[in-house]
Structure 1
Amino acid sequence: ADASQFQQIKEDAKAADCFAWYDPLQPNEVSSVLDLQPPADADAAFQRADYPPQLLTPFQSSGALYGLPYMVTFRVLIYNQTLFDNAGLHIPDESWSPDEFLAAAQKLTNKEKGDYGFASVRNMRDDLLFFLDQFGAQVVQNSGGLPQPNFTDPEVVQAGHFFVDLLRNTSPHQHMESYSTDSQTTQVGSQSALQGHVARWFDFGSLGSRFYNTAGLNTHTASPPFGAHGISPHDVELNGLYISATTPHPEACWTWLNYLSKDVRSFDGTFPARSSVANSEAFAQISSPDMASVHRSYREKLAASPPNGANASFWNSGIEFYWFYQAIDRALGGEPLEQALAVAQQRTRDHLACVRSGGKPRACALDVDPSYKGFLGD
Structure 2
Amino acid sequence: MRIIIAGGGTGGHLYPGIALAETFVRLQNKTQILFIGTTQGIGTSPIPKKGFDLETVAATGFVGKGLSGKLKSLFSIPKGLGQSLGILKKFKPQLVIGIGGYVAVPVMLAATLLRIKRVILEPNVMPGLVNKITAPLSHLVITTFEASNQHLPRHKIKRLGIPVRPEILRAKDSQKSKGTATLVILGGSQGAHSINQAMIEALPFLKKAPQSFSIIHQTGKTDSEDVKTAYRKSGLEAKVSAFIDDMATTYSRADLIISRAGAGTLSEIAALGKAALMIPFPYAAGHQIENAKAFVEIGAAEMILDQDLSGEALAKAILALIVHPARLKKMEKAALQHGNVNAAEDIVKMCIGLIEGSA
TM-score normalised to structure 2 length: 0.28
Kindly indicate whether structure 1 or structure 2 has the higher relative contact order, using CA contacts under 8 Å at least 6 residues apart: 1
- Which of these two proteins has the greater Rg computed from alpha carbons? 1
